[in-house]
Amino acid sequence: MVEAIVSTKDSRFKVHDSRTGAKLQNLGEVEGKVAERRVTGIGELDRVLGGGLVPGEVVLLIGEPGIGKSTLLTQLALRITNTVYVCGEESPSQVKLRVERMSSLHTRYAMDSLKMLAETDVDAVIGTIEKVELSLLIVDSVQTLFTSQLPGLAGSISQIRECTARLINYAKARNVPVLLVGHVTKEGEMAGPKVLEHMVDAVLELTGDRYYDLRLLRTQKNRFGATDEVGVFRMGESGMEEVNNPSEVFLSEREEGAVGSAIAVVMEGTRPVLVEVQALVVDSELPVPRRVATGIDVRRVQILLGVLQKYTRLSIGTKDVFVKVAGGITVKEPAVDLAITLAVASSASGKPLPKTAAAVGEVGLLGEVRSVNFMEKRVKEATKLGYTTVYSRDNYRKVSELVKILKR
């Protein structure tokens, strides 16, 4: 005889009387309460969530293996009392080893308040946690859950969809925030059915280069906040450390007066960040010169090289050009165009840019410098870090005008 916990609630098999209708409400009768958020204690995570966790909110956190998802959620679990951590991929002893490794957060009180549940049957999980008062439920990961009422293995489309639906019903009925860890595919997209993104309230993505310690937490969807915020962390021995000023991190190893270096002011969410763009232009030994880019789309670099070749008369058509955004960050917005062109022009001419200069602007196919949004924020951040000269459309209309400065 083996004791098993069976959930008494199953919304899938309810029988409804066709003669009974649902209640209609006027929009004015609906209570428009503003949900009171709970601050997590991790400032960068609160920024991305929109100020904290909302009661009954279901959040899906995705990211590549080893990027730090479990580490971040373990730190969160240690900060919020009455938290249940459902370990589907790890054993409780492995989670404890991770907690002990985070010496700065390891306290006896925190370990006693964190409850572990080594279970992958979603009905058993819900049947267990319904008996206790919770402040937060963490499931690591949703791909390991299953229900015996459906065929198929854990991780299949039907199992993921049904298990997530049951957790959402629990979260809404009990007003308990639920954080789900999700897998990603080889292409970096969320694994599982696309409907999973529609079911949850927020989708967070943790990205970073495994050869760097920097981690970026981005919002792909958020029903209770903005989707343009970015949290910046650094992976350390004691866990994920918050980075309050990312610009200082990206510029900490920059060599002043270096040829082929330019500073760009990009927006990570609503926060301006200064990054260094490096370029190397050398004679090519191949019939077709190489165009290599790291941290930036190589097709964008090729377009900008064509603009430089056409309107500035720089001789780069027969040379190899290498462009890199230092620090392991990937930049996608067009505001970095001007910094790329200036870095390439600096390397080609052999003359450095002024050490207090930064560049902000999109470059068009006609060689013009185009304006970008949040210009006031960008200039303010650059000035705060000592870059008093900002090249933009406000003072230069053509790329050729800027390149003439390097030729003097």
Model confidence band, residue 165 (pLDDT cutoffs 50, 70, 90): very high
What mean pLDDT is reported for the chain? Answer: 88
Answer yes or no: are the C-beta atoms of 301 and 340 closer than 8 Å. yes
Of the candidates 100, 171, 161, which has an alpha carbon nearest to the alpha carbon of residue 130? 171
pLDDT of residue 20: 59
Q: Max Cα separation, the chain? A: 89
**Cβ within 8 Å of residue 237, ≥6 positions away:** 101
- CB count within 10 Å of CB 307 equals 19
Distance of alpha carbon 338 from alpha carbon 351, whole angstroms: 17
User: Half-sphere exposure (CA, 13 Å, Cβ side) for 257?
Assistant: 0
pLDDT of residue 106: 47
* pLDDT tens figures, 119-148: 999 999 999 999 899 999 999 989 999 999
The whole-number average pLDDT for the span 188-197 is 85
Answer yes or no: are the C-beta atoms of 360 and 335 closer than 8 Å. yes
Identify the structural domains of the chain with CATH numbers, from first to last.
Answer: 36-244 (3.40.50.300), 249-407 (3.30.230.10)
* pLDDT tens figures, 376-398: 999 999 999 999 999 999 999 99
Helix ranges restricted to H, 215-280? 246-250
Tokens of 326: 């230092």
What pTM value is reported for the model?
0.80
Q: What is the DSSP letter of 184?
A: B
